[in-house]
Structure 1
Amino acid sequence: MDSPISLPSPRPSAAREWLLITAMVTVAWLPLIGLGLVLLILGVTFGIWQVAVAPVMWVLIGVSRTVLGRDSVPGRAVRPGDEPELASLVNDVAERLRFTAPLLVRIVPWPDAALGRAKVAGVRSHVLLLGLPLLRNLSAAQLAAVIGHELAHEQHIHDRRTSWLHDARALLAERLEGRFRPLAPLATPLLRASQPRVWQAERSADADAARIAGTETTRQVLELVALLVATFDGLGEQWLTDLAVNHTYPQDFYDAFDAALQDPLVRRRSAGAAAEYDVLDPYHTANHPPVAQRIAALPQADGCTSHGSDPIRLRGAALIAQWCVQQLAGVDSLPEPRGTQARTSEDDRRARRRGKDRYDDPRPVHILGLDAEQLHAPSEDGGPEALLAATRTQAPLRAVSAALDAVADGSWPRLARRIEPQLRRLPPVERPTATRDVLAGATGAALVPVLREAGWTYASRWMRTVLTTPGGTNVDLYDLLVTAVDMGDPAPVRFLLEAAGTEEVPA
């Protein structure tokens, strides 16, 4: 059959794109260039050679770090002989896309998929990263769509100009991650101008994925991956953080994660979070279009594969899951299979550093073995204490009342900043939503014990702020509080407290 690789769409002229690339790289290095020139002038003027060569040394150090870190590869390698079903699926998709370059597969703990290049065991290869949550929750046909997207994407951006464009965007976006963003006025127009070309490549890769696995399957994948990422970032990270406080880690993390995904309340909350995050792009750094736009752009195709509707079978599933959990928790992990080791990347070490900062010898626990009260026990920074401290009161109900008063009179952003001072560091475009979420989360954490004392029960094993009234109605306190803040009207929350039989809340 003919290759399903999409034909490239018309793109900007080479001169325009190289100009964009040059401008982005220049702006990214502008602070260092300016400081280097100042030091060079001072060194030459006053004859201090150490000052004069400092900028050159910085450049050499930066280049050496880039060279040394270029081959870092995250994840745990899987050999075809150990995982033949997964290898067969990858090979089938690669053949249909006429992807003939050497390809290695590595599994990472988080819900992600990516294709990069690295030197592994002395051989220059492409490395396909597949997140364990994807392997456990996507059917073989859906996984084929994910793999097809990544392989096709590499073929769409393999030319030097496109590769430089991606790298320049990544470098410039990195400069906007700190607390101070003096480059934002210069960087944002450049990132906005280069974004359509990057999004075009993503949509072309989506189209090839649809031709491999079918339009409907690709649509399902786009929605499901967004759901997995939102659940992992919200619920999964919460487990890791809360258990770390007690010097424990969740040994059954992935089993619990899969179980939580079956809860309609979890899926609803995660879908809402994913949709809200999807359109939040203040500096135009996003390399993927919003999911709704990607789905709307999919071509109609039946697919050319016949992979099943069940997840791919992993023969070493238990060992892989154990390794991934240990990576997330930052504890000593199992060694990789012999002959497949590659240097551990910075991303691969982040959880380990985080874990060792919090505890030295954590104990494994089973999330599925905890009852609802244990699972919902507030952590140090997830209980009512944050709102109590911000409102300078010792009674949760009074703290909630003070928060509702702040919503009514419009002073709630100031209260939220007392709860979370780091809000001041966020970009102005992101700050209102984040500030609202902080206040809603803290108020909900203080409201839960009040309603629990009034006889309300947890509606979900997995969610702290969704409660069931004595009459059997489910109430999502977080959603209720978010709406109250957005509308500037705390009346529905006050009515809920009165209906629950709590003490009268002053208006």
Structure 2
Amino acid sequence: MKLLSRTVSWVLLISVVPVTMLVVAAVLVGFGIYAFTQSPVTAVKIAIGVVPTVLVLGRGLWVLFKKIDNPVHGVPVREHEQPELWALVRRLAEVAGTAPPDDIHLIADANAAVLEDTRLLGLVSRRRHLFVGAPLVAEMGSAQFAAVLTHELAHYSNRDTRFAGIAYRSRRAFVHTLNTMNRDDYLQRALHFLLRRCGALTLRATTKLSRRQESAADEAAARAVGSVATVAAFRELAPIAESWNVFLNNHLTVGWTAGYLPADAFAGYRKLRASLHDELAELRANPPEDAEPYDTHPPMSERIAAIDALRALGTVRVPAGNALGLLRDPVPLLDAALLDGLVPEARTKRRVDWPTLVRIGGITALTENTGRVLANAARLTARPPSLRTLLDALDAGLLTELGTDPASPVGRSDGPRVRHERARLIVGKGLFGAVVRTLTEAGMIRWRESWPGVGAMRLDEGRQVSLPELVDAAVSERPDTAGLRALLDSVGQPHGRQRHRGTATGDENPRPDGHAQGSQAPRPFGEGLPADGVPRRDDRVDPPGGPHRQPGRDRAWPS
């Protein structure tokens, strides 16, 4: 009886706004018809003001019934491939008083959710889906993971998912109608006021009902696996979500622009979490309290206190250990779920280990301006784009020209001092990237993982030099490239000014600095550096990987 009354209340609440819109539209149409029977002329005048409002309401109601394309994402977890996980889900569903889901999908989000395909506005259930986040599987204990699963399955037994679709449609229709109303029209302005007040009251009521549903699902989880495991699971949700966001934004795609992804992403995620131990422990002890008035979930502190007060011991025996133990050969499955969360372009990315990815990503980030600066040096000196050409152009006092893009009008009206300072920054970054790439190839710079940072580079300990200082000297008011040339000479290739020998006499220069015509001398390190900083083909070690949404890419490489 309690479940029936809650279902009726839910249906009534989510239908208030659409029914109001329908009633208002019907009243306006009926009024227009009545006016036409009394006076066609008057009816036409009324229609001029009423018809636009009826059309706005009609389009909003159309959104309510319009088909929504909502494909199921994630990697299917089939029962014959993962029987242990499915056996646990079936036991938890039985304890929660509901049928098991029709399918389970592993997704790339640090979350878990349920979805139910329905017909006739939620009256008929067709198919149930359970979505499990790969980060939860990777980092939760099996008992904690079981608590999260039971919470989601309890939404089925409480019929919370039955009317989720129509509730979503109702909100879409409401928002669409408000956004398309003409606030300059007096009738639509009055209707906007009415719907906003009506919608606010409904939203408050549905928020209270949603929070009661969440509390009921929390209680079901505690009674299934115990209050201790459920509290531990809820405390772990924020640390996993925060660390996963850091991983996606700063680490996973560090080599994306160069065409690379990590071969074992979750190994890196584990290292990141270990490096953030103190921060995550603080987050675990004090879950964030950012609940908003219309949040469908109660504040986490209230949920944890309520679960702890139950002192439930649990009735389901869950295998000890990590949730990964519930999966057979979990690494490929987790990786497939992660790739499913990326854009299709991820299929073209090569897979490399983390040390290689750190090196590739670091060089790519540092050489962002290198191609442009080398191209300018080649254009100004009529020589090949190389590190030697760039150093010679700096010695020739061409700093401002090296940092200017001839095809861009930006900065042309700036004064000489401003253009010089801008060029100094651009050329300095480009030169620094070129030198780092050259020294990395020579083995003088080594790259290493540096969690929670993206990575770190270390100059050979035998070199008592500071690369930033040498680069600053090269792009100063009075350029001094001697320090960089000496450092680069020490790797085995000359970077000093060449002496010209040949038939010319005195100070004659028969051809620009560079290799002798027809020379078979080896190319110096740094010459022919790719303009975009993309690693060479011999760095690619693996076949391409797989798929959707690309996460953000914030990088913070050490200088």
TM-score after normalising by structure 1: 0.53
* Stretches of structure 1 lacking an aligned partner (at least 5 in a row): 1-6, 333-354, 382-457, 466-507
Matched, 1:301 2:332: no
> How far apart are 1:371 and its partner, in Å?
5.0
Aligned in 2, Cα 1:170/1:155: closer, same or farther, shift over 3 Å?
farther
Match of 2:155 among 153, 156, 166: 153
1:251–1:364 CA contact under 8 A, matched in 2: yes
User: Pairwise mapping of residues 323-362 of structure 1 onto structure 2 (< 5 A)?
Assistant: 323-331=336-344, 361-362=348-349
Deviations 1:271-307 (A, max 9, x none): 289944x4152xx342222211110111111111221
Cα gap change, 1:185/1:279 in structure 2, threshold over 3 Å: closer, same or farther?
Answer: farther
Task: Give 1:51 deviation, angstroms.
Answer: 12
Maintained 8 Å contact 1:25/1:171? no
**1:439-454 map, 5 Å:** none
The answer as to whether partners of 2:81 and 2:328 remain within 8 angstroms in 1 is yes
Structure 1 equivalent of residue 249 of structure 2: 237
Q: Residue 250 of structure 1 contacts residue 367 of structure 1 at CA under 8 Å; is this kept in 2?
A: yes
1:74 equivalent to 2:73? Answer yes
* Native 8 Å contact 1:97 1:151 kept in 2: yes
Change (3 A) 1:212 1:51: closer
Q: Which residue of 1 aligns with 2:225?
A: 213
Counterpart residue type for residue 319 of structure 1: P
d(CA) in 2 for partners of 1:376 and 1:302? 54
CA separation in 1, counterparts of 2:285 and 2:305?
20
1:367 to 354, 378, 382: 354
Alignment correspondent of 2:483 = none
The residue number in structure 2 matching 1:461 is: 451
Give the SS at the match of 2:67.
Answer: helix
- The answer to whether the Cα contact below 8 Å between 1:103 and 1:125 also exists between their aligned partners in 2 is yes
> Which residue identity is paired with 1:257?
Y
Which of the residues 288, 296, 305 maps onto 1:287? Answer: 296
Structure 2 Cα separation of the partners of residues 373 and 148 of structure 1: 43
In structure 2, relative to structure 1, the CA distance for the partners of 1:244 and 1:203 (3 Å cut) is: same
Deviation at 1:211, TM superposition (A): 0.8
Q: Which residue of 2 aligns with 1:228?
A: 240
Which amino acid is the alignment partner of residue 22 of structure 1? S
How far is 1:83 from its partner?
0.5
Q: Secondary structure at the match of 1:79?
A: coil
8 Å CA contact 1:86–1:314 kept in 2: the answer is yes
Q: Indicate if the aligned counterparts of 2:262 and 2:357 stay in contact, CA closer than 8 A.
A: no
| Contact 1:114–1:128 (CA under 8 A) maintained in structure 2 | yes
CA distance in 1, matches of 2:109, 2:362: 22
2:254/2:358 contact within 8 Å kept: no
CA gap 1:167/1:464 in 2 versus in 1, 3 angstroms: same
Structure 1 contact 8–156 (Cα < 8 Å) conserved? no
Give the SS at the match of 1:118.
Answer: strand
Instruction: Give the deviation of 1:229 after TM superposition.
Output: 1.4
Alpha carbon RMSD of aligned pairs, Å? Answer: 5.2
Corresponding residue for residue 452 of structure 1: none
Shift of the 107–241 alpha-carbon distance from structure 1 to 2, 3 Å rule, reads: same
Residues 262 and 354 in structure 2, CA contact (< 8 A), matched pair in contact too: yes
Q: Which residue of 2 aligns with 1:91?
A: 90
Match of 1:201 in 2: 213
Deviation at 1:29, TM superposition (A): 10
Q: Shift of the alpha carbon at 1:24?
A: 4.6
AA in 1 matched with 2:151:
H
Distance 1:188 1:51, change over 3 A: closer
Matches within 5 A, 1:26-425: 63-66=65-68, 69=69, 72-100=71-99, 103-118=102-117, 124-158=126-160, 163=164, 166-167=167-168, 171=172, 186=197, 187-240=199-252, 242-265=254-277, 267-268=279-280, 271=283, 275-276=287-288, 278-281=289-292, 284-298=293-307, 299-310=310-321, 311=323, 312-331=325-344, 361-367=348-354, 369-371=356-358
Partner of 2:511: none
The 3-state SS of whatever aligns with 1:244 is: coil
2:344 aligned counterpart, secondary structure = coil
Count of aligned positions = 341
For 1:245 and 1:225, the matched residues in 2 are separated by 31
Q: Identity of aligned pairs, percent?
A: 19
Q: How much does 1:156 deviate?
A: 1.8
Q: TM-score, normalised by structure 2?
A: 0.49
Could you say if the C-alpha distance between residues 44 and 237 of structure 1 is closer, same or farther in structure 2, counting changes exceeding 3 Å? farther
The whole-number CA distance in structure 2 between the counterparts of 1:28 and 1:246 is 53
Residue 195 and residue 158 in structure 1: after superposition, are their counterparts in 2 closer, same or farther (change >3 A)? closer
